[in-house]
Copies of this chain bind each other. A is one copy, B any other.
Amino acid sequence: MTGDGPDPGRLSFNQITADQLSLRQVVEGCVESGIGWLAPWRHKLEPDSAALIRAAGLRVSSLCRGGFFPAATEAERRERDGDNRRAVEEAAELGTDVLVLVCGGARGDELDQARDQVLTGIERLVPFAVERGITLAIEPLHPMMVVERSVIVTLAQANAIAERFDPSEVGVVVDAYHVWWDPDLERELERAGPRIRGYHVSDWLVPTTDLLGGRGMMGEGAIDLPRLRRLVDAAGYRGPIEAEVINSELACEPGMELIARVRESYLRSA
């Protein structure tokens, strides 16, 4: 590690990286590996999660995830709104102030409408989140995920929505895997500035054989992660850096060793 390498104290373990483990195991793994931050996913939460994490001395960088705003019916919309409010409450309970938004996907004939629904969905959620001290952080996903996951596919789009609100209300999450290809990245990071509420790392494997579960460990792919970290730093972000390596094969490996390996890869290559 050189003098300008990544700060070990900023590493946060994004739980989906070790989806084979329970939250309790992930907490133990982070403590063993000397990782101070954790980013839990909602499907792994248990009634005592907040106490468990706190007792281990870990801090929570964000909760993943709210969002999925596009809805075909009014009933569906209400259901999503309710679920998003629960996500806000869970984030507050866990002691983080960031709820990551994966905004939801759409087919081509519904893209425009879905993008409108993302904006109005966020508008409806903001007052509830503000009351509980939670900032909603829009994560643009890679364009190849536009149908299944997110109609928000560029940082420019996320910034344009976030700018309609106060920075304490709506921010953005920058995930290297989703945005590294973007010719406007440098400009949009600068534009985002204090709105950046999270930075995620993993790597783009060559070739990529799985659109959803085909991410690489830091240093194993094509992304210039040190350059991205410097750009995100230059934009003013000083918070935790989440390692979020969604990979179907890694998710079958022994989880505790995987957590240690994530830390090594982060220190060497992020």
In contact, B211 and A148 (Cβ under 8 angstroms) = no
Q: Which residues of B contact A206 (CB under 8 A)?
A: 107, 147-148
Residue A257 at the chain B interface, CB threshold 8 Å: no
Determine which of B182, B211, B225 lies in contact with A208 in the assembled complex, contact meaning CB atoms within 8 Å. Answer: B211
- The answer to whether A208 touches B108 (Cβ under 8 A) is no
Tell me which residues across on chain B come within 8 A of A204, comparing CB atoms. Answer: 108, 147
Majority DSSP secondary structure for residues of A touching B: loop
A208 / chain B contacts, CB cutoff of 8 Å: 144, 211
- Give chain A interface residues in 129-153, CB to chain B under 8 Å: 142-144, 146-148, 153
Residues A115 and B207 in contact in the complex (CB < 8 Å), given A108-B223, A143-B143? no
Bound Cα distance from A76 to B144, whole angstroms:
32
Q: Are B143 and A182 in contact (CB under 8 A)?
A: yes
Q: Are A222 and B147 in contact (CB under 8 A)?
A: yes
Which one, B143, B180, B181, B211, contacts A207 given CB within 8 A?
B211
Q: Which residues of A contact B (CB under 8 A)?
A: 107-109, 111, 115, 142-144, 146-148, 153-154, 156-157, 180-183, 204, 206-209, 211-212, 222-225, 227-228
